[in-house]
Structure 1
């Protein structure tokens, strides 16, 4: 667990940077064609999660944010038009939510706003 206090603004900035990166990744995969549907769906899932999380008021409080992410994870389905595979999209949304839950719990990783990140 990080020794620093929860910084809602840092988390919002990270979510905004990931949102922007996911849009670029979707555009790149879309231009490459149907063979890159996996990449498109993964980026669309990241965009979906970041879109919801960055505007939710719970982002200012670590415990509330973690609870909100768990609520999202407990959903039965996630709807987004334009993806190649609904099943793959939903799987990627859940994987991204789990990653974000781990990051929020540990309060770490939000300072890295580079486009390409290790998982």
Structure 2
């Protein structure tokens, strides 16, 4: 990883993942009510929820290198089992893009302090 000025804070990362998990669940409600035109937004929020659910209590968050390795493995994964999605291919694309976002944040060790709902 990079030589960051601040040390890796595993509890902050887990808090960020927990807050994003909660926000993504809320972000699924409005597109679900909109119906057909909200499908992409629903799948995007569901992808964020899926990733955060998988990682928020994982031991890999304790170390920056281990977390980065886990994220690389998720990006390389072939499929992401989930039910209730509108379009599986779109959901998988959103999962990969969200994991790439997390990988960039992990590499820079930056952004985990932003725990607001809307980012």
Normalising TM by the smaller chain, what interval?
Answer: over 0.9
Residue 107 of structure 1: aligned partner: 109
Output aligned runs, 1:64-103, within 5 Å.
64-103=66-105
Matched with 2:50 is 48
RMSD: 0.9
Shift of 1:57: 0.3
For structure 1, list consecutive stretches of 5 or more residues without a partner in the other structure: none
In the alignment, structure 2 segments of 5+ residues that lack a partner are none
TM-score w.r.t. length of structure 2: 0.95
Q: Segments of 4+ in structure 1 off by > 6 A?
A: none
Do residues 7 (structure 1) and 9 (structure 2) align? yes
Say which of 34, 37, 40 aligns to 1:38: 40
Shift of 1:56: 1.1
Give me the whole-angstrom Cα distance separating, in 1, the residues matched to 2:16 and 2:34: 27
Q: CA deviation at 1:87?
A: 0.5
